[in-house]
Structure 1
């Protein structure tokens, strides 16, 4: 197994533990949300190491790479190591957003049975899950 594949697997397992904690949140919400945030922070640390390694020891940016155009982003992510860093970035942020949703749900009046599919959507399609949580929370608050 290559080092990048190992990092990919480790980051995925850490994040899955965090998502599992959020699914169990009603049992001990505060502690389980903190566990998910710890998992997110651990994956953020992995991202930092990947980013530093790429900037310091990497071969430099591919020709045309940058954030100013879609082609520039495609070039930026054209290397396997850059794609890994991008994936880890998604993992960390989606889990943190999920932890915020699990923390916010009781205050907003969103029941856990509704939060669970919203968390699944956040895991698979981050902004969609967040948007639907915001809508569910707005409806629940309006009903109160």
Structure 2
């Protein structure tokens, strides 16, 4: 179950990023990214987390790892959770959803501030690979460049 869900979430995220970077910025592609990309990833995250918390799905611990205590939010508790297939897939889906949402926000913000698509691509690629790093770069670029262009 977890392997299939992992592959599905990766496919959804990759399709969303490909649309975001390569497709024209028109309402339909942006809507697809938001709802079939971000929305679907959020739905998978919530459903998988709820299934594990309700005991409907086994997080399948890695051989030799302790079963995770889902109420322990200490570093040790999170380590035990992420030593399970379910914990990895749920955590990964969380990252995929938020990184894609962040990329969508960056793209819309960059469009509104008049940034060329070619200038957006490196920031979006960095956000795809390392979400917070891409966001940090965008936050450092957006206001000074927008002010030079006379946009806020």
What TM-score do the two structures reach when normalised by structure 2? 0.82
Q: Give the CA RMSD over aligned residues.
A: 2.0
**Is 2:129 the partner of 1:131?**
no
Of 11, 28, 48, the match for 1:50:
48
**Is 2:39 the partner of 1:31?**
no
8 Å CA contact retained: 1:64, 1:75: no
8 Å CA contact retained: 1:47, 1:88: yes
2: distance between equivalents of 1:110 and 1:136?
A: 10
Give the direction of change, closer, same or farther, for the CA distance of 1:128–1:141 in structure 2 (3 Å limit): same
2: distance between equivalents of 1:59 and 1:107?
A: 45
2: distance between equivalents of 1:28 and 1:108?
A: 14
Q: How much does 1:108 deviate? A: 2.1
Show structure 1 runs of 5+ residues with no match: none
Which residue number in structure 1 is paired with residue 19 of structure 2? 21
2: distance between equivalents of 1:35 and 1:72?
A: 36
Q: How much does 1:24 deviate? A: 2.6
Give the direction of change, closer, same or farther, for the CA distance of 1:19–1:64 in structure 2 (3 Å limit): closer
1: distance between equivalents of 2:109 and 2:45?
A: 26
Show structure 2 runs of 5+ residues with no match: 60-66
**Is 2:110 the partner of 1:113?**
no
Of 8, 11, 27, the match for 1:10:
8
8 Å CA contact retained: 1:62, 1:76: yes
Which residue number in structure 1 is paired with residue 88 of structure 2? 83
